[in-house]
Structures are given as structure tokens and as C-alpha cells.
């Protein structure tokens, strides 16, 4: 199944890269590569990710690429990556 990053997810990736790059530019690129590769693999087994505990909606799932959560929605024809966030951050209330 095709995996598509939302504008929100792309913006979060840019912010993560910028934050890490302040101290370690090479680590920033490596982390973004790990996150994007992990996100691309979601399309192979969409239900392998766990339900997002804060919502408990079957189509709203997450996988971890520590220390980040990749939160996605399973659609009939694609996987929509909604956001990428540090595991210590609170989820926004409007994901569902």
C-alpha cells in the first residue's frame, strides 16, 4: 500500500532535522533517514503498528523509531502519515 506523508508530517521532519542539526548535522540526516525508511515500510504491514493509546481507534496507528513516534491513519487506498513527534510530547487533540 502507498504511504503518503502529510504536510504536517513533512514540517515535523524538517523541525526534527533542524533541532538535531544544531549540535550534530550528520546525526540529523541519519535520524531523518531512519524515520522515513521506517515510515515507508508501514505500507507492507499497516496493522503491525499499535493503536495510538490516547485514541484507541483501529485505523489510527503508530510505530516507534526511538525517540520518535510515527503516527499514521490507515485509509482504504493509502497510509497517511499524520505526524512524527518525540515520545515525550503530548498528542494534539485533533488527530482523530
The DSSP code sequence of 54-90 is: TT--TTEEEEEETTEEEEEEE-SSEEEEEEEEETTSP
* Helices 25-41 and 7-21, packing angle to 10 deg: 150
pLDDT at 91 over 90: no
Considering only residues 19 and 95, tell me which one the structure prediction assigns the higher pLDDT: 19
pTM beyond 0.85: the answer is: yes
pLDDT at 84 over 90: yes
Q: Are 80 and 66 in contact (CB under 8 A)?
A: no
What residues are paired with 50 via a beta bridge?
62
pLDDT at 65 over 70: yes
Output the CATH code of domain 2-86. Answer: 3.30.2310.20
pLDDT at 46 over 80: yes
Give the pLDDT of residue 96.
65
Give the pLDDT of residue 16.
97
Q: Show Cβ contacts of residue 38 under 8 Å, excluding neighbours closer than 6 positions.
A: 63, 65, 70
Reduced to 3 DSSP states, what percent helix, strand and coil does the chain have, rounded to the nearest 5? 35, 30, 35
Amino acid at each position: 500500500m502507498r504511504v503518503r506523508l502529510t504536510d504536517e508530517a513533512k514540517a515535523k521532519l524538517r523541525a526534527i532535522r533542524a533541532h538535531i542539526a544544531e549540535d550534530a548535522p550528520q546525526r540529523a540526516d541519519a535520524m531523518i533517514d531512519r524515520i522515513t525508511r521506517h515510515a515507508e515500510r508501514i505500507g507492507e504491514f499497516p496493522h503491525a503498528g499499535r493503536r495510538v493509546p490516547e485514541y484507541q481507534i483501529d485505523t489510527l496507528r503508530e510505530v516507534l523509531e526511538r525517540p520518535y513516534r510515527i503516527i499514521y491513519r490507515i485509509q482504504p487506498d493509502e497510509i497517511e502519515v499524520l505526524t512524527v513527534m518525540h515520545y515525550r510530547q503530548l498528542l494534539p487533540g485533533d488527530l482523530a
